[in-house]
Amino acid sequence: MMLTLDHIAKRFGGVQAVSDVTFAVARGEIVALIGPNGAGKTTLFSLIAGFLAPDAGAIRFEDRDVTGLPPHRIAALGLVRTFQTAQPFERLTVAQNIAVGAHLHLASRGAALRRGAEIAERVGLGKWLHRPSRELTVAGRKRLELGRALATEPHLVLLDEVMAGLNPTEIDAIVPTIFAIRDSGITVLLTEHVMRAVMRLSDRVLVLNNGRLIAQGKPADVATDPAVIEAYLGRGVAPPAARELARG
């Protein structure tokens, strides 16, 4: 197994953000983690990537216990996350941003910058190579997040809403990029509110609600699961997503 979560729990003061979550991701899969706002998706990513320590449970990555390891150690093992709100290195150029990721395995500055240029091309930022990253649009920043993560040569990437804030054209453009990532041998776990993309992209869907895993399975099956529809409608927080979901 690529990634295994075993009874993971996390509480913030009075909020049980994640409770008793158990699932596994196999090598080569694209798995979508969905759920209404505040369901605990980002928290779960932070737990997996080592930014938070779980209150209970264990996380295994490629048959290694990574629970409680610091983020940079986990990244070095080949598990890299992106951030829901893009976090560029604002004073660095696009190439330099991506090179930071490439440096994980490349000591040479020249080699890392060349890698940065290559990957910028791959995620569609070729034209922006020498622009400061703070000049990027939201869509550009999302691509940068993706590019930097890929530059570390991960085995598993956690993509936190790489499509949020993008327009439909931009979303259609990023879908093939994600398929290409999987085809290059990288396993993908992503969170997404854009159901159309989830349905097209994912092999499997996990549904989180109030920190609990309430359903999992093929996209089409999950979409018709009454518990899932109830979770979305009951919250009344994401009706468009729920409508899409119900339509399948």
Partner 1 sequence: MKSAAAIIVLLLALIPLPWLVRSDFWLNFAVLTLYYGFLGQSWNILGGYGGQYSFGHAAFFGTGAYTSAVLQLQLGFNPWLAVGLASVAGGVVAAIVGGLSFRYGLRGSYFALITLAFAEVLRILADSLGFTGAGVGLQVPLHPAVVNFQFAGKSGFYFTMLVLTALGLAVVWYIEHSRFGARLMAVRDNEDAAQALGVNVYRVKLGAIVVSGILMALGGVFYLQYFLYIDPEIAYGPAVSIAALLAPIVGGLGTMCGPLLGAAALQLLNEVSESAIGAAPGLNLVLYGAVLVLIIAFLPEGIAGVARLRIGLPRGRAA
Extract the tokens encoding 105. 């395995």
Among 10, 41, 103, 122, binds partner 1 (CB under 8 A): 103
Burial of 132 from C-beta contacts in 10 A (0-12 / 13-18 / 19+): middle
Query: What is the C-alpha separation between 202 and 32, in angstroms, rounded?
Result: 6
Query: What is the C-alpha separation between 173 and 69, in angstroms, rounded?
Result: 35
- Crossing angle of helices 138-151/94-102, nearest 10°? 30
> DSSP 3-state assignment of 132?
strand
Which of the listed partners (partner 1, Mg ion, ligand ATP, none) does 101 bind, with a CB threshold of 5 to 8 Å by partner kind?
partner 1
Which of the listed partners (Mg ion, partner 1, ligand ATP, none) does 109 bind, with a CB threshold of 5 to 8 Å by partner kind?
partner 1
Q: Give the binding-site size for partner 1 (rule: CB under 8 A).
A: 37
Q: Which is nearer to partner 1, 116 or 219 (CB)?
A: 116
Which of the listed partners (Mg ion, partner 1, ligand ATP, none) does 43 bind, with a CB threshold of 5 to 8 Å by partner kind?
ligand ATP
| Residue closest to Mg ion (Cβ) | 42
Question: Quick one: which of 145, 146, 149, 8 has its CA closest to 66?
Answer: 8
Report which residue type is found at 59.
I
CB of 190 to partner 1, least distance (A): 15
Question: Given the rule CB under 6 A, which residues bind ligand ATP?
Answer: 12, 15, 17, 35, 37-43, 84
Question: Given the rule CB under 8 A, which residues bind partner 1?
Answer: 49, 51, 70-72, 75-76, 80-83, 87-93, 96, 99-101, 103-104, 106-110, 112-113, 130, 132, 148-149, 151-152
